[in-house]
Amino acid sequence: MSGERPSGGFRIPPTLIIAAVMAAFALFKYYGQSSVNDITGETQHISMSPEQEIAMGLQSAPEMAQEFGGLSRDQQAAAIVKQVGNDVVRNSAASKTPYQYDFHLLADQQTINAFALPGGQIFITEALLYRLTSDGRSLDKDMLAGVLGHEVGHVVARHSAEKMAQMELAQGLTGAATMATYDPSNPNSAYIAQAVANMISLKYGRDQELQSDNLGVRFMLESGYDPEHLISVMEILKQAAGPNRTPEFQSTHPDPENRAERIKEAIEEWRGKLK
């Protein structure tokens, strides 16, 4: 009998074995952590607790404010932002969540923006606030409630924590894909895998924005504000973006026109549910 090993046969490349282990670990870690959101009813794969979200938001708030010129000196406008924001939370399902909501007006008069940090720290810039008028002069509180309600929706739906978990999963799967598909003769193979992960992340972002619009409509109706005014906010965003908007599939935010249509659907949905 010969001591030589038989030639031929199938041999799995070591890189594929390593890639499979990496992918399995990333998937197990992601899907092994789940909780049901009491407001949305969705099962989410999130590792952070609400207390950790609150701590993260409070720690990040001062630095985020400085990026937009600090807090506004317009005390009257800042007080209105807090009043409307607190109204939206206090009189809606958002009040049943454990988060510590606080509403801040930023001094930036150039950047049209509003955003929420994990745990309830919510910001709007002067540049956006001063555009929220129905007559070109006085602030439209229903529009403001729409903007803030949308941001409250991000907090309630735990989008920041969800996004972090999704990005961690995407990074794990990208590492596995890079390992499995790496070709020394084609160094671009790694970039292809990264591009796929980026597109996955963008899709998550658009879905989250639409869900926040839907929740914002709900919170507006529950707190006595007119959700039709949120459609007007979409027109403001459309005008601010100008004609050279980034194509929707390459943006984390849906096109304002598409959002307006979904908001109309949400208004009918929640008016029926909240009767």
pLDDT of the residue at 211: 96
Which residues does residue 104 pair with via DSSP β-bridges, in sequence order?
Answer: 123
Q: Which of 89, 106, 83, 132 is nearest to 231 (CA)?
A: 132
CA distance 66 to 62: 6
Domain spans, the chain: 43-273
Per-block average pLDDT, block size 10, for the chain (275 residues)? Answer: 55 69 61 84 89 93 94 98 98 97 97 94 96 88 98 96 75 63 56 53 75 97 97 88 56 76 96 92
Which residues does residue 114 pair with via DSSP β-bridges, in sequence order?
Answer: 124
What secondary structure letter does DSSP report for 136?
S
pLDDT of the residue at 178: 65
* Cβ contacts of 65 within 8 Å, gap of 6 or more: 71, 104, 106, 123
DSSP string, 209-267: HHHHHHHHHHHHHHTT--THHHHHHHHHHHHHH-S-PPPGGGSSS--HHHHHHHHHHHH
| 3-state SS record for 177-200 | HHHHHCECCECCHHHHHHHHHHHH
CA distance 227 to 136: 19
Dihedral Cα 150, 265, 167, 63, nearest 10 deg:
-10
pLDDT of the residue at 249: 44
Burial (CB < 10 A; 0-12, 13-18, 19+), residue 52, is middle
Burial (CB < 10 A; 0-12, 13-18, 19+), residue 267, is buried
What is the torsional sign of CA 226, 259, 152, 217?
positive
Measured between alpha carbons, how far is residue 37 from residues 57, 156, 188, 263, 265 in Å?
A: 19, 8, 40, 22, 23
Task: State whether residue 156 is helix, strand or coil.
Answer: helix
Are 196 and 175 a contacting pair, CB within 8 Å?
Answer: no
Q: Which token pair is 122? A: 């919510």
Q: Which of 84, 86, 204 is nearest to 144 (CA)?
A: 84
